[in-house]
Amino acid sequence: LAFTSDGVMVKDERSTLCADPANMLAGIACCPWDDDDDGVGQCLYDREETTFVEAKDRCLQAGYRLCPVDEAGDLDVYECNYRKWDPLRMYSWTSTPCAVKAQVNALGKVSTVHSTNLRNERFQIDSGILSRVSWDGGRFPTAESSCAADGDAC
pLDDT in tens, 10-56: 887 777 888 889 999 899 988 888 876 677 889 999 889 999 999 99
Quote the strand ranges of the chain, DSSP E: 7-11, 16-19, 29-31, 38-41, 65-66, 76-77, 92-98, 100-104, 110-114
pLDDT-derived band at 57 (thresholds 50, 70, 90) equals very high
Nearest one of 51, 101, 53, 95 to 70, comparing CA atoms: 95
Question: From CA 36, how far away is CA 111, in angstroms rounded?
Answer: 31
Any long-range contacts for 125-131 (C-beta under 8 Å, 24+ apart)? 125/150, 125/153, 126/150, 126/151, 126/153, 130/105, 131/1
| pLDDT tier, 61 (very low <50, low <70, confident <90, very high otherwise) | very high
pTM: 0.76
State the DSSP code for 143. G
Q: What is the mean pLDDT of residues 76-94?
A: 73
- Check residue 117 and give its pLDDT: 53
